[in-house]
A and B are shown apart, each in its own frame.
Chain A
Amino acid sequence: MIIHRLALKSLRNRWVTALLTVIAISLSTALLLGVEKVRTGARQSFADTISGTDLLVGARSGAIQLLLYSVFRIGNATNNIGWAAYEDITHHPDVAWTVPLSLGDSHKGFRVLGTSVDYFTRYKFRGTQNLRFAAGKPFDDLFDAVIGADVARALGYKVGDPIVLAHGLGSVSFVEHGDKPFRIAGILEKTGTPVDRTVHVSLAGIDAIHVDWQSGGRVPGQAVTADEVRKMDLKPQAITAAMVGLKSKLATFRVQRAINEYRKEPLSAIIPGAALQELWELLGTAETALGAISAMVVATALLGMVTMILTTLNERRREMAILRSVGAGPRTVLGLLVAEATALTAAGVVLGPCLLYLALALLQPYIDANYGLHIGIAPPTATELAMLAAILVAGILAGLLPAIRAYRLSLADGMTVRT
């Protein structure tokens, strides 16, 4: 088509501004698409924080609160679960396994989790991924600790290093369990979940450091040394929460109801997936804001294109007059400018995703390792394709603006350009 050839040649004549415009459009397209990919990646990562666990059980509270303190280590439990109640749940005929979670202590700002060795096999994330050890192995001594990747990196710990746990949750605590130091037995690989920021010890270890404590303080004159505590038969009295796996998913609601109606203690059982979904909804506003900002960036880029075409319009009135004189109709002039806007936008819309995929290919392992955010490199989804189409349509519509002006000018100019 002659009109396309003309539009391209004219563009090539102004290649510097055209190139900058295309770069602006492609960068903004890449940004919009990138935000979308990060958004879906974050949502997926978030939803994948914990999987394979059918129910989370804690003292009676709201689902989100229970999820926050038991999985995300945010906030505190209102109450504990008695050991007897935990045993009852474990022996429920539909329950396949349980993992106790005991929270309340910290180490330099990182939460300490008392649990069983099963935790390392039962806790799953991103569907079916297990925790893996970057170094060392699960705890087997009373004073062994397993630390998450962020803890190891932030504090520079290696396997074998001694650490002292602090009572309570502050990063600077004056009440330390200095008499019973722990030794790092293992370091976990990065997961992108709160596990990375957790110090794991055995449930017995938690009891051991509190054996000579009562209601939040040391009992004077009753100090028990680390060696003495090894000889004691430690039986936990209470835990904070528990992960529960069922023999059949079909039993989920039955077991949930049974736990919620447990007579001896007020307990809550939640389905992690549903609670995660509920929590994500709360965060949805930020998600919308992010999308809105990137849409604005695209609008700015298109506005830049319109400005670019409009500013060249005056010097191109001569060009339009020549085209008119050789028989081109005002509609051809209109079409020429719309074609130009279309070509620029289309180039940006094609180049943008290419840039994004290139950036993803380069940065994906880094993002995964450092932020625990897994952004899949997949062909554009229907939503993303619809976004690209919307940008193209917006570009064509924006191109109509200078085109209509050129149309009017070429009608008004006649033979001579009177500038």
Chain B
Amino acid sequence: MRAGLVTMQATAAAQPGSSRAIVAVSDLAFAWARGGFALDVKAFSLAKGRCVLLLGPSGSGKSTFLGLLCGILTPREGRIEILGQDIARLSASRRDAFRAEHIGVIFQMFNLLPYGNVIDNVVLPLSFAPQRRARVAAAGGAEAEARRLLGRLGLPEDVVGGRTVANLSVGQQQRVAAARALIGAPELIVADEPTSALDRDRQAAFLDLLFEQAGEAGATLIMVSHDETLGPRFDDVLRLDQILSPRGSVAA
């Protein structure tokens, strides 16, 4: 994989509006309702099929930015085009439906519903996404597809069949979370420091599997982290401060 930092100019290959851009953000302004933190993004785009790392120190607004990309948060102004659809203009329920259909999310930790088993957790998004459900049905059914993905992600068979996720190691939990993000082949995978709770060997193994499956599904991957050493594994690496507007990221 190609290494190195990519500047704003380097991502210009996928400018907003370009047909190759899977994500195109422009003139974005967001502030938390209770104040304290604001985020302004001049321009950001993501080309289809790439694996991109967004670097930034803790508290710099990485998670907020991902929340905006996923449509969990709503910007005050600006455009967030995903697959050509400006999700900032969608109604709240349409935006939720859009996320369900097109975006797979992996959190840093505690990704799983404690009361479900492994398969329940993997097939969860299908309940909210008819197209992904249809794709999975065509591929042989939800459970079979969940088992296939978990197998490819290296989760042992006896763990997959387990009745509870409570006894899974952190690494196993993250693999289940990855399978949940990938099932039904959404176009965009968003990961919020998914490897920070893993030790270095497991980080590498996890990322390799994640890239492999994302590539197989034709998904674009954006991951945020504060860990620069992960950079060499990604197609592109961006720093958060590179995409923020000049007027600064922290405003009271």
Contact = CB atoms under 8 A, between A and B. Distances in A.
B70 A325 contact: yes
A9 B115 contact: yes
Interface in B10-34: 33-34
Contact of A414 (B63, B101, B180): B63
Interface string A93-136: 00000000000000000000000000000000000000000000
B114 A415 contact: no
Nearest to A328: B128
Interface stretch (B47-55, B103-111, B210-218): B103-111
Contacts of B250: none
Contact of B112 (A10, A322, A332, A415): A322
Interface string A6-20: 100110110000000
Nearest to A329: B96
A313 to B, nearest CB: 15
A137 interface: no
A168 interface: no
Contacts of A9: 113, 115-116, 120
B9 interface: no
Nearest to B99: A327
A324 B72 contact: yes
B100 A322 contact: no
Interface of A: 2, 6, 9-10, 12-13, 318-319, 321-332, 412, 414-416
Given A326-B100, A327-B101, A414 B113 contact: no
Interface string B71-113: 0110000000000000000001100110111000101101111
Interface residues of B, number: 34
B56 interface: no
A324 B116 CA distance: 16
Contacts of A12: 115
Nearest to A321: B107
B115 A10 contact: yes
A326 B133 CA distance: 13
A315 to B, nearest CB: 10
A328 B93 CA distance: 9
Contacts of B97: 327, 329
B127 interface: yes
A318 B116 CA distance: 14
Given A414-B64, A414-B67, A326 B33 contact: no
A414 B72 contact: yes
Given A326-B105, A326-B128, A415 B115 contact: no
